[in-house]
Structure 1
Amino acid sequence: MAQSSAKKMSAVTNLALERYMGRWYEIACFPSSFQPRDGRGTRATYTLLPDGATVRVLNETWSGGKRSSIEGTAFRAEGAGDEARLKVRFYVPPFLPLFPVTGDYWVLHVDQDYTYALVGQPSLKYLWILCRQTQMDEETYNRLVEKAKEYGYDVQKLKKTPQIEPPPEGDEGPRDTKGIWWLKSLLGK
């Protein structure tokens, strides 16, 4: 479906930011260069900072038996009004953070209990299906895929993310301190 015939993309209105905080597991996503291709157990943890408007973002994945992570911040996009249109900023490379990279993070759908979410952005290049649990039932997953289609996403690009059972607690496991996954992703490997 082309963007011109798709429903105009809008984000959730009046997102309860405090309820959105915590850990979310990536159920599926569009593969991207900033995530290891063999990543498992991918998750994001959001923490509201004391200013009540900025969110600390910790993205983690396990690749080659090691935990890889990157930290950043999220904040309301200019002109967002009451919509959950955020900007996320990371500094790269993760092992020597020098350069800021900022992207759109739009919460397109969240259920009333804040247990699953659909996140994307206007360019249609990135899409995530998130859940508070490591697994999501097929009916819910399919509903979120249909919502993404309505916005014009090519859902054929969605790739389910393998999770680790039980999920690692904290930051256990050997850590990728050299950012090898990040360097490999730049080289397309």
Structure 2
Amino acid sequence: MAPSTALVVMLLLSLTSAQVPHWGPCPDPSTKAAFNLKQFMGRWYEIAKLPAQFEKGKCIESNFTLKPDNSFHIVSSEILEGELRKIEGTGITEDMKNPAKLGISYSYVLPFSPYWILATDYVNWAQVYSCTDILRLFHVDFAWILSRTRTLPASSLEKAMEVFANNNIDISRMTTTKQQGCDKTL
């Protein structure tokens, strides 16, 4: 590896301290067939996730609102050290041929990050995956199990884990998000 490439790799690794890089390119998981963005809109509570440096609190939730141009506004929040923290972003459908492949950005200067809906019934649960290749040498990924309520039955949680496993997504580090004591919300 050239010195400049090694430096870039080290820099990118330092930016992903909470994430664990995996060798090789991102997996290519199946996404929700005939995905309906309008039905996906609304409030989703995070039930479980792969660790992410940008999510350290409890009571994590996101509210999606469709815009007239078919993009969407997203407001995400968490309670961290007793304080309600919010961040707003924009989402788009990245691939019209595969409308479950969304992109989200929380900054005007950063590109859209993948936000792929692997499975959902729209009214109870959803599994979301995001993966970014770094120089095609390794990838950093995120995965979330979402619910329309702050809890999800164990059977639904197991089904969600199977969706990730069937798509070769390593969820061995997945953690449960605390959804108790959530009096401060969006």
Equivalent residue, structure 2, for 1:119: 128
Choose which of 4, 22, 32 in structure 1 pairs with 2:42.
Answer: 22
Q: Could you tell me whether the CA contact under 8 Å between 2:79 and 2:184 is conserved in 1?
A: no
Q: Could you tell me whether the CA contact under 8 Å between 1:25 and 1:44 is conserved in 2?
A: yes
Cα deviations across residues 44-68 of structure 1 (Å, max 9, x unaligned)?
Answer: 10000122x1110111000000011
Q: Could you tell me whether the CA contact under 8 Å between 2:84 and 2:185 is conserved in 1?
A: no
The residue matched to 2:161 in structure 1 has which SS? Answer: helix
Equivalent residue, structure 2, for 1:110: 120
Equivalent residue, structure 2, for 1:47: 65
Q: Could you tell me whether the CA contact under 8 Å between 2:77 and 2:185 is conserved in 1?
A: no
Equivalent residue, structure 2, for 1:182: none
TM-score, normalised to structure 1, is: 0.75
Give every structure 1 segment of 4 or more consecutive aligned residues whose post-TM-superposition deviation is greater than 6 Å.
none
**Whole-Å separation in 1 of the counterparts to 2:23 and 2:41:** 31
TM-score, normalised to structure 2, is: 0.76
**Whole-Å separation in 1 of the counterparts to 2:141 and 2:28:** 16
* CA separation of 1:90 and 1:101: change in aligned 2, threshold 3 A: farther
Root-mean-square deviation over aligned CA pairs: 2.4
* CA separation of 1:31 and 1:41: change in aligned 2, threshold 3 A: same
- The alignment status of 1:63 with 2:73, answered yes or no, reads no
**Whole-Å separation in 1 of the counterparts to 2:165 and 2:23:** 10
Structure 1: tracts of 5 or more residues without a match: 92-97, 171-189
* CA separation of 1:144 and 1:89: change in aligned 2, threshold 3 A: same
Residue 150 of structure 1 deviates from its aligned partner by 1.0
**Whole-Å separation in 2 of the counterparts to 1:28 and 1:101:** 25
What amino acid does structure 1 have at the position aligned with 2:46?
E
